[in-house]
Amino acid sequence: MVDIVIQLFPHSLAAFLYAALGFHFWRTRWREQPDQCVACPMHLWERIAIGAALAVHAYAVLGSLMGSGGMYFSFALALSLMMWLAVLIYWLESFMARMEGMQPMVLPLAAVCAALPLLFRQGHLVAHAEATGFQFHFLAAMLAYSLLTLAALHAIFMGFTEKMLHRRVVRRSLGSLPSLMTMEGLLFRMLSLGFVLLTLAVGSGLFFSEQIFGKPLALDHKTFFAIASWLIFAVLLCGRHLWGWRGKRALRLTLSGFSLLILAYFGSRFVAEVLLGRV
């Protein structure tokens, strides 16, 4: 019992830190109040606090992943790891651009995902986790999921911001955000890098399935959704490069590709682990 509490405590602490920081950024950057400093950059202590939350979260995820006897994985740990990488990317980007206005959106989601392993503790022992090919596939997939999740969140918030501006709704919180052009540039940088990583993940899974997973490739729903997602992102990036696609079309395609990507792994693992009780 004590061992379980010790193992789960870092997840609780990470979720608490993310939630507290999310509330802080909402109160200081989004909340409508006269003394709100919309032009204030991120303070040093805020960067350190996010860094500390990331360190605690990393310790929690690694402790749950690398248990005695091998590597354990589940849909809850996958989402937790994905959001850790997403927060890390936002944190690093904040050193180069103004991202403080985006934190009230990403940090509460990170808090929820950090707490998921507390609620859904089912997991499965990963076969072939010691194989170099599997480790490459796993790292590429997790980085791709994280970047494309961040891109989807970014797209949602861009759509919200654009709608507010078109309706001529003026709020102080909008002043803490980067310009739409800056946000769009960041979106396509994340999409481009995420697409490269997704290509590596899908490609390694397709061509080296037997070496990585110990069985030939099967065209199941997971493979189908992953390839469909890859095709949507490919079309979006080609359209951006050739015809300058942007705005609502880019946002819709981003969210469509992301939805299929989520179904490719997390949907199947949720059904198997939570609804059907399989590991």
Domain boundary among 126, 143, 163: 126
Render each residue's pLDDT in the chain as its tens digit; 279 residues: 545 556 678 899 999 999 999 999 888 877 766 666 655 678 899 999 999 999 999 999 888 877 666 677 777 888 898 889 889 988 888 888 777 777 888 899 999 999 998 887 766 666 666 667 777 877 888 888 888 888 888 888 788 777 776 666 555 556 556 677 777 888 898 899 999 999 998 888 777 666 555 555 566 677 788 888 999 999 999 998 898 888 788 888 998 988 888 887 665 555 554 545 554
What is the reported pLDDT for 193? 92
261, 234 contact by CB (below 8 A): no
CB atoms inside a 10 Å sphere around CB 66:
12
Residues 30 and 143 in one domain: no
Domain boundary among 80, 109, 126: 126
Domain boundary among 102, 126, 150: 126
Output b/e per residue, 38-64; b: 16+ Cβ within 10 A: beeebeeebeeebeebbebbbebbebb
What is the reported pLDDT for 153? 81
Torsion of CA 53, 56, 57, 59, to 10 degrees: 160
Angle between the N-to-C axes of helices 180-207 and 247-262, in degrees from 0 to 180, rounded to the nearest 10: 30
Residues 138 and 115 in one domain: no
Q: What is the pTM for the complete model shown?
A: 0.75
What is the reported pLDDT for 187? 86
Residues 144 and 271 in one domain: yes
| Cα-to-chain-centroid distance, residue 137 | 17
Task: Show the beta-strand stretches assigned E in the chain.
Answer: 66-67, 70-73, 124-125
CB atoms inside a 10 Å sphere around CB 249:
13
- Distance in angstroms (rounded) separating the CA atoms of residues 133 and 152: 28
CATH number, position 261: 1.20.120
Structural domain count, the chain:
2
Residues 27 and 94 in one domain: yes
Q: Who's near 18: CB < 8 A, 6+ residues apart? A: 53, 57, 87, 107, 108, 110, 111, 114
Residues 191 and 205 in one domain: yes
Structural domain including 108 reads 1-126
Q: How far is CA 42 from CA 47, 96, 106, 122, in A?
A: 7, 11, 15, 38
Helix (H) or strand (E) holding 85: helix 75-93
What is the reported pLDDT for 43? 86
Residues 211 and 187 in one domain: yes
- Distance in angstroms (rounded) separating the CA atoms of residues 24 and 90: 17
Residues 199 and 76 in one domain: no
According to DSSP H, which parts of 167-263 are helical? 180-207, 209-213, 221-243, 247-262
What is the reported pLDDT for 273? 47
Question: 63: closest CA among 136, 107, 139, 7?
Answer: 7
Instruction: Output 77-81 pairs: Cβ under 8 A, ≥24 positions apart.
Output: 77/116, 77/117, 77/123, 78/142, 78/145, 78/265, 78/266, 78/269, 79/113, 79/116, 79/266, 80/11, 80/113, 80/114, 80/116, 80/117, 81/142, 81/146
Q: In this structure, what token pair is assigned to residue 118?
A: 């507390």
